[in-house]
Chain A
Amino acid sequence: MAYSFDFSSLADYAPVLVKGVAITVELIGVGGALGVTLGIACAWAKTQGPRWLRPLVEAYVELIRNTPFLIQLFFIFFGLPAIGVGLTEMQAAILAMVINLGAYACEIIRAGIEATPKGQFEAGASLAMSRLQTFRHVVLVPALQKIWPALSSQIVIVMFGSAVCSQISVEELTFAANFIQSRTFRAFEAYIVATVLYLALAVLVRQVMRGIGALVFPRRSVAR
């Protein structure tokens, strides 16, 4: 049976799609920034932090990396109110993304830190820097620079994961596509458009990350 595509019926719903894209961007913008921050904190705790903190971070990372994002999201949105922590859909979605990305970012950034030669730490110490100062100025930035591409990929993966947030009625891109297909019965077209938009968003995220990288990381000076 032949199926004739009809994208024209989607045109009326362009504002819905635009809103969906905007909310997905908001999710990944806020979730990405906070998630990477959490990842840096956890990577510090795992490599330099107090000994008692390490098993806790380890447990957090393992628990998150070995359970589906959907269950994490449902646990936060449906489960936490049962113990008195009520969150709006948007708050729950962002919290879930931060916690999820934090765990993956922790592992990625830790790998970068562990690839830093020991001499760097010693050089920092010999300049009378505190451990935290050494971490901040000497270790962290080159470590981030090394793993920046991997971190960018992880953020894109988390953005793809954010499609699931439609299930708790966050009105992001997938929600918009669901809404449109329920109105027009043009499921194939709606999801194709959404998929193409996700592709474009992935390119955008990578470009933004590249831009941030170019701003934050000093060019390697060639003086030897």
Chain B
Amino acid sequence: MPDLKTSTKTPQSTAPYREITPEAIIFGILIGVVMNAAITYSGLKIGFTIGGSAIAAVLGWGVLRGILRKGTILENNIAQTVASSVNTSNSGVIFTLPVLFLLGIEMNPVWAIAATTAGAILGVAFIIPTRKQMIEFERLRFPTGTAVAAVLKSPGEGVQKAGILLAGIAVSMLVFFFTQAHILGLPTYGSFGIPGLTNEALDVGAMISSIGIPWPETFDFKWAIAPFAIGAGFITGRAGLVVLAGGILAYFVVTPFAYEWGWLPDGTSASNAASVARGAMNRPLGIGLLMGGAFVGLVHAIPSIKAAMGSMRKKPAAGEERDELPLKVLGIAVLLAFIVLFTAARATITDGSVGQALLIAGVGTAWMWFAGIVIAQCTGMTDWSPISGMALLTVMLCLLMTDNQVLPAVLIGAAVCVAITECADMMQDLKTGHLVGASPRKQQILELLAAVIGPAVCILVVTLLAARNTQEYGVPFGPGTDSPAPQADALKGVIDGIRGGDAPIPLFAMGGVMGALLSFSGLAGLGVLVGLSMYLPLMYLLPYGLGCLIQMRLTKSKGAAWTESMGVPFAAGLIVGEGLLGILFAGIQVLGG
């Protein structure tokens, strides 16, 4: 039993229970804006972003409870909901909009902000009606949401569990520190002189080769030094193990055969076969699998969604609060956001008709709904969200509808990407809220309002950075600058491919058929999981799979209750620790220029 005398110092109170407060909202906005700017900057440098919920939850304890001396668990939950809502749009923006700078296309920031803000509102409004089905009925794990709940609940979990959480954070920070210690002028893993060990990964194949045992170069066996991936795998458990199967299919079946049979472009070496095969074959097949699997999953979930919607429509009993924002309010939000999106599309199409603007805004909006559900499912099942894959598909669709006009296609793509990141974030936050007993409706209202802040912040950072780079290097982003924008550069390759008539549409279609069949097998989300794992780099799948295996082993030997009460806090610590250090390094990079 937890020892309350040692685990909480809050005096017993008869004052109203604090949930939504000005302090929580102001703190959430401030920390969200700072994280958004820092992560946008670092994301343009390194190509990936960091989620902000866990960081906001940890800082929330320090500020609301430590400094202001009055934060409650639910007030801190509101603070992290607001902060992550403001922060989360950065990946949607930096994976898409910088491609316009790379292609030398002028962008009016006003339309970019308008389109992405509309996307943020649409994302939140579209995903709210699925909360009951995904969180209460399907009980998807949402590993980050579960980890954040562990942080929020830590004051009441007793000394032992709080200690386990802190131990997880410490281990994670220690392991992750040496991946980026060069920022502080300190040695990193790469400088240790261990064969196969680089700053970001341990190449087990190279390590084995270095002791004289032959290892085929086409068998990519790099393990990312990413404690968060082990933590996410642990929280997901057995259900996440399929992810390993998809990774094995892509990297240990398709890649070696494609290389040996000469299917890769001439000049591809054995050591870069995995990366070439991923770009040319595994990624498009994976995206197709993901979409086909998600479509069948959605069709299967219709009865469950109907039942969830039915309970949304029920009138609450006297004195009882509604769980969700009413459908009418969501409908108005969707309509207003759609008008903004249409106006942005109309303003950016050259010689385009109203009908064409309506078409891309309409298809973009419908796509947001479907892609948002796909992303929320992926995040709920594994914690991974294939945002860049969705960006690619969206831009491809919009290019086809606008006779290859890049500006409106990328703007709609950016809006969709922001929408789906908000979908994933909203569901993670609602999962956290469910675990700590928060009011979903209050979280939804604040997420909807706070979501409009984020896009403007990251577009401002992107614009300022582009101006600085242009002045300093002569080009805004890309190779040759301090901000290579790797994801946008990859999107540029795809746009070039589509405009040159070389889009991998047949592979998307074949993957779609395979994904649909897998999801039709009766194993929930099979197509989505296999597709996701073919799409992701193997080096992150391996530690994730290891986390799943450790959880299964512990459940077998120690029991499910022990794993849940002792293992999950440690796994949560692994996720939180890496996030904390990641944002710290991002901040140092910003300050250091």
The answer on A and B forming one complex is no
Name A residues whose Cβ lies closer than 8 Å to a Cβ of B.
none
